[in-house]
Chain A
Amino acid sequence: MTTTFYVSAAVAIIATAMAVTRSHGVHALLYLIVSFLAVAMVFFVMGAPFIAALEVIIYAGAIMVLFIFAAMMFNLGQQAVPQERQWLKPGMWIIPSLLAAILLAQLIALVFAGGGRNLAAGIATPREVGIALFAPYLLGVELASLLLLSGLVGAYHIGRHLRRSDATP
């Protein structure tokens, strides 16, 4: 189990790093899907199978697919690679990487400042998650549905006035 954890973690990190640095749109998206699958494995190892499933179904399955549709619509394939290369000069990475590294160092320091504990051995079953959702977090569920409704309405409204000819850049 622990090896699974470490391997999945490594895959996730590498895949995410690749996703962020690719110039080809679809490649980046695919790398990200791999990253999400690895993270789902991590979830599974940690005893959260429900969430592992949801990660794959919703995050990798729905959201990423939506991204791929958008990439297709905007022609982010081979056609856009030179443009992306131009925007991604190596010099541009220095300060963001530095900032992210400092933040990372601070977070790690914070994490290791607390008392060491291990992940529990048990599994939080889907049943428990369901009971939790319908009892203490009922309000949260309702709000989440409201959020989705507003997202739906918003996306519809914002995209409504678009003329079909203006869709592609």
Chain B
Amino acid sequence: MTAIPMEYGLVLAAVLFAIGLAGVLVRRNIIFLLLSIEIMLNASGLAFVVAGSRWNQPDGQVMFLFILTTAAAEVAVGLALALRLASRFKTLDVDAASKMQG
């Protein structure tokens, strides 16, 4: 097969990361916020795998495994926090928890 330049893989990762970032900055619902964070994590993992594939070594995949673990743990805790937010403020609006302002 014709080789795929490494840059394209990294560009893909960058684009996905940027979309995820835009999502984090825009969405107000906490679930969608967490979703966008997942997108960003996935994109960074993609970058690692691309890098590992460039050298034809498994290290990139190992790193992705760790990122995956992190994402899983983070989602669990994050959703628990979302529960607490919902019970405390009766809304999923992440702007409701802005008491530390000023």
**A and B held together in a complex:** yes
A-to-B contact residues, CB < 8 Å: 1-2, 5, 9, 12-13, 16-17, 19-20, 25, 28-29, 32, 35-36, 39, 42-43, 45-48, 50-51, 54-55, 58-59, 62-63, 66-67, 70-71, 74, 76, 80, 83-84, 87-88, 92-93, 95-97, 99-101, 103-104, 107-108, 111-112, 116-122, 124, 128-129, 131-133, 137, 140, 144, 147-148, 150-152, 154-156, 158-159, 162-163, 166-169
- Inter-chain CB contacts under 8 Å: number: 250
A-B contact pairs, 16 of them (CB 8 A): A9-B12, A17-B19, A20-B22, A25-B31, A36-B42, A48-B64, A55-B68, A74-B31, A74-B86, A84-B32, A107-B14, A124-B53, A128-B58, A151-B77, A158-B77, A158-B81
A151-B73 in contact given A46-B50, A121-B1 (Cβ < 8 Å): yes
Q: In the complex the two chains form, is B66's CB within 8 Å of A101's CB?
A: no
B-to-A contact residues, CB < 8 Å: 1-12, 14-23, 25-29, 31-32, 34-36, 38-39, 42, 46, 49-50, 52-62, 64-66, 68-77, 79-84, 86-87, 90-93
Q: How far is the CA of A28 from the CA of B73 in the complex (A)?
A: 21
Q: Which residue of the partner chain B has the closest CB to A9?
A: B12
Q: In the complex the two chains form, is B52's CB within 8 Å of A42's CB?
A: no
